[in-house]
């Protein structure tokens, strides 16, 4: 009940009154039922209907007086498609964040991604036809243009809509290292999310599972900057890219990004030695202490999966 009073989802549902044809079932009640499905972590719509049939209090809160008033399962499926097409959850979340953080200053904006497993076949990737590059040095007056990477295109100043449209959204296979350093693979998608202090999600973007974390950092930064005012952008070593550092500073933030030595053995040894020296003298850098706030986004990812249905996605396609 408290959640429904806070989000006020009925204010964001488009009305169909006055249009020709048979009026659809009450979308406000169905939207409230989908909120209850998420809160109670119900895996399927059928489980939601069974709960509505036995729980009279929940049924009345959603807007149905009798059991016979609750629509059938296929009506819920059509309504879900309409909500997805109209970006209803995204619009509700955006309005809620802007209203709650209008006069607040967020200290740390923690950014990370998490795997979303899906029960569908991954898209077969077409082999990329690579054209053989010319060997040797270019001739006098000849210019060889190197194509821009996705991050370079984002940093060049293209619009936010173009950035989001350029991101892959098909179901495929993703691989990443877990907290213990082992590689794990999954079929489905990847959820990229920005989280404020206190575990409050600011914005999120869903992409293909194989999309690298760094390719979504700049769009996330722009969206978060439109919704809240924060001081620090906290990210792990996957985001250690010059363009991401520059974008964070352009937005007036301080980037706290773990250094990624990649194949630089000398840098890796220096970082290890520096950490060892700090431990010996009992000194901890202020940046390192603030970087520990990044655990907030990891807890949010775990809650989304364990408590709000992130592990039991039964919808096909990018919604």
Are 93 and 155 in a shared domain? no
Residue 253 above 60 pLDDT? yes
Pick from 289, 272, 291: which is nearest to 280 by CA? 272
Is 52 in the same domain as 75?
yes
The string of pLDDT tens digits covering residues 33-74 is 999 998 888 888 999 999 999 999 999 998 898 888 899 998
- Is 207 within a domain? yes
| Residue 246 resides in a domain | yes
Domain stop point among 97, 131, 165? 97
Same-domain status, 179 and 301? yes
Whether the predicted pLDDT of 19 surpasses 70: no
> Is the same domain home to 113 and 241?
yes
Final residue in a domain of this structure, among 62, 97, 132 = 97
Q: Are residues 72 and 112 in the same domain?
A: no
For residue 270, being part of any structural domain is answered with no
For residues 115 and 68, membership in a common domain is answered with no
DSSP secondary structure letters along 166-203: HS--S-EEEEEE-TTS-EEEEEEEEEEEEEETTTEEEE
- Of 86-100, 125-139, 250-264, give the lowest mean pLDDT range: 125-139
In a domain, 217, yes or no: yes
Please state the rounded mean pLDDT for residues 154-170: 92
What's the rounded Cα separation, in Å, for the pair 230 and 218?
15
Q: Residue 263 domain-assigned? A: no
**Which of 23-32, 70-79, 254-263 has the least mean pLDDT?**
23-32
Q: Structural domain of residue 189, as residue ranges? A: 105-123+148-258+294-306
Same domain? For 240 and 176 the reply is yes
| pLDDT attached to residue 275 | 86
pLDDT tens per residue, range 115-143 = 999 888 888 877 777 676 677 777 777 77
Q: What is the pLDDT of residue 20?
A: 58
Residue 169, in any domain of the structure: yes
- pLDDT in the model for residue 182: 85
CB 44 within 8 A of CB 314: yes
* Range scoring the smallest mean pLDDT among 7-16, 55-64, 176-185, 284-293: 7-16
Q: 155 and 211 in one domain?
A: yes
Question: In total, how many domains does the chain have?
Answer: 2
CA distance 185 to 165: 25
Strand pairing class (105-117; 172-177): unpaired
Predicted TM-score (pTM) above 0.75: yes
112 and 244, same domain (yes or no): yes
Instruction: Say if 185 falls within a structural domain.
Output: yes
Confidence of residue 24 (pLDDT cuts 50, 70, 90): low
Has residue 280 been placed in a domain? Answer: no
110 and 57 assigned to the same domain: no
Give SS3 for 5. helix
Are 175 and 216 members of one domain? yes
185 pLDDT band (50/70/90 cuts)? very high
State yes or no: pLDDT of 198 exceeds 70.
yes
Task: Pick the closest to residue 238 from 218, 255, 221, 262 (CA basis).
Answer: 262
Give the residue-averaged pLDDT of 197-218: 93
Give the domain CATH number at 230.
3.30.420
pLDDT digits (tens, 9 = 90+) for 258-288: 988 888 888 888 888 988 888 888 888 888 8
Backbone angles phi, psi at 272, to 5 degrees: -65, -45
Q: What integer pLDDT is reported at residue 193 of this predicted model?
A: 95
The verdict on 92 and 112 lying in the same domain is no
Per-residue confidence band for 241, with pLDDT thresholds at 50, 70 and 90: very high
Question: Which residue among 81, 97, 113 closes a domain?
Answer: 97
Q: What's residue 214's pLDDT?
A: 94
Structure confidence at residue 148 (pLDDT): 86
Token pair of 62 as six digits: 């959603």
């Amino acid at each position: 009940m408290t959640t429904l009073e806070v989000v006020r989802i009925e204010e964001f549902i488009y009305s169909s009154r006055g249009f020709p044809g048979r009026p659809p079932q009450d979308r406000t009640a169905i939207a409230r039922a989908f909120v209850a499905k998420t809160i109670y972590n119900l895996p399927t719509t059928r489980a939601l209907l069974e709960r509505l049939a036995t729980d009279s209090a929940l049924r009345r809160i959603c807007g149905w007086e009798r059991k016979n008033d609750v629509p059938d399962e296929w009506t819920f499926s059509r309504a879900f498609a309409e909500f997805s097409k109209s970006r209803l959850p995204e619009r509700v979340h955006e309005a809620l964040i802007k209203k709650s953080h209008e006069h607040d200053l967020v200290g740390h904006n923690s950014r990370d991604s998490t795997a979303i497993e899906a029960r569908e076949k991954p898209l077969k990737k077409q082999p990329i036809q690579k054209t053989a590059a010319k060997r040797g040095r270019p001739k006098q007056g000849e210019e060889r243009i190197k194509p821009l990477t996705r991050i370079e295109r984002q940093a060049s100043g293209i619009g936010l809509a173009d950035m989001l449209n350029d991101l892959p959204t098909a179901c495929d296979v993703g691989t990443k290292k877990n907290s213990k350093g082992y590689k794990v693979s999954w079929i489905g998608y990847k959820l990229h999310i920005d989280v404020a202090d206190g575990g409050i999600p600011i914005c999120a973007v869903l992409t293909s599972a194989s999309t690298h974390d760094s390719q979504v950092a700049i769009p996330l930064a722009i969206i978060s900057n439109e919704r809240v005012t924060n001081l620090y952008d906290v990210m792990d070593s996957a985001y250690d890219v010059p363009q991401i550092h520059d974008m964070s500073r352009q937005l007036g933030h301080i980037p706290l990004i773990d250094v990624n030595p990649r194949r630089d053995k000398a840098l890796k040894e220096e970082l290890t030695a520096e950490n060892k020296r700090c431990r010996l003298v009992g000194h901890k850098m202020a940046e390192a202490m603030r970087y520990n706030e990044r655990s907030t986004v990891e807890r949010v990812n775990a809650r989304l999966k364990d408590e709000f249905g992130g592990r039991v996605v039964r919808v096909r396609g990018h919604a």
